[in-house]
Amino acid sequence: MDERLRRLRAVLASQKFPAERWELLAAAEFYGADARTRAELRAIPVGRYSTIAQVAEAARVVARSAAESQTPGDGRPGVRPDLSATDDVSRPIVM
C-alpha cells in the first residue's frame, strides 16, 4: 500500500462514502490530520468520491500535475531560466 493511501485511510477511516470533498476536509480537520494530508485533500477537485482509493488517486494525479508544471523544459526540477537580461531593474517600484 502506498504511503498516501495509508495516510488517507487512517484519517478517513470513519468517513462514510460516497463523500463530497468538503466532507473529506471536515473529517481530516476533525481527525487532526497532518499538514501534508490536509494539503493533499484541499488540492483535489471539488466533487463526490466513492472510495478512499478514488480520493488517493485524485491526490496522486494533482500532485503529479503540479510536479510536472514546475519542471522546466530541460527536465531539471526547480531550475528557472535566467530572466535578468529581460528584467528592467533601473525602474523604481511605484506603489
- In a domain, residue 94? The reply is no
- In a domain, residue 38? The reply is yes
On the question of a cis peptide bond just before residue 72, with omega within 30 degrees of 0, the verdict is no
Mean pLDDT, residues 22-30: 96
Q: pLDDT per residue over 68-91, tens digit each?
A: 887 555 555 555 444 444 444 455
Helix (H) or strand (E) holding 37: helix 35-43
- In a domain, residue 13? The reply is yes
- In a domain, residue 42? The reply is yes
Which conformational region is residue 19 in: left (phi greater than 0), alpha (psi within -120 to 50 degrees), or beta?
Answer: beta
Domain that holds residue 20: 3-69
Grid cell, residue 88, equals 528592467
- In a domain, residue 11? The reply is yes
- In a domain, residue 24? The reply is yes
- Across the chain, what does the average pLDDT equal? 82
Domains held by the chain: number: 1
d(C-alpha 19, C-alpha 27), whole Å: 10
